[in-house]
Amino acid sequence: MVSMEDFGSFETAWCPGCGNHSILKCVKEALVQMELEPHQCIFVSGIGQAAKSPHYLRTNVYNGLHGRALPAATGIKLANPQAVVIAQSGDGCNYGEGGNHFLAALRRNINVTLLAHDNQIYGLTKGQASPTTARGQKTKAQPAGNPSEAFNPVGVAVAMQAGMVARGFAGMQDHLTEMIVKAVQHPGFSLVDILQPCVSFNKVNTFAWYKERCYIPEDHDPQNWEQAMALSRQWDEGIPLGVIYQSHKPTFEESLPHPTGEPLFNNRPSIQKLNEVMSSFA
């Protein structure tokens, strides 16, 4: 039987009170609930405080370039469709540097889960506005206020009719764990945008700020695209959590069958042929 201890316990570089702590706990709890063993999972991240999360899990990890978690996760999934592939990074990494990769993943519907830690600030680089920072919000790098409109990742994902679009809150751990389980079990691309406080560099969107606003809508049908679009635009006095939208359509890997009939990770190179190729360059 899989347990929390199987995924290890490590000293972190995060501030006390950071939402990353509870998100890490929820990720472990979700993996245990699904009875996934560490060797069955591959976590992929970019750069940032959130991107350190897989460092604190005893499992397979690929830590790549800033904003490039999703392309790497896509390649891993195509090479090994049997693996549970989870990309995990922050709002800056995913929606800023990785913005185009985020859109491509939504279009492709690769069977990968994206856990986006959304604290509405760049924490690793000490507090400039991220793509999800509200317009006008003052930061260390924008003392006169952020001049750009905030990016709405949930709204964009619903608008593009992504496989599964959900939002969670680091302060509601049971609910967030449930969202992660549903996302991993969804056959196609799934996004969980996870609201979390940054106690050091975002003094506006605090734990109390989220707590006052986050709610779980009643009688919402995630299959209803118009209703999901309306929910995705709610922000400020009420912020809806849960599965906002869900659809079922062919995955990217189903459209790209392996030419040999076997996943790449099962193919073994011929040492003899490799030696012949190398000898041709001698």
Question: What CA–CA distance (Å, rounded) separates 144 from 77?
Answer: 44
Stated pTM of the model? 0.93
Tell the residue number behind the tokens 């859109």, with chain if given: 103
Question: What CA–CA distance (Å, rounded) separates 240 from 213?
Answer: 8
Domain residue limits, the chain? 4-280
Residue 7 contacts residue 28 (beta carbons within 8 Å): yes
Output the pLDDT for position 51: 96
The residues of the chain scoring below 70 in pLDDT are none
Q: What is the mean pLDDT of the chain?
A: 95
Residue range 4-280, CATH number: 3.40.50.970
Output the pLDDT for position 88: 97
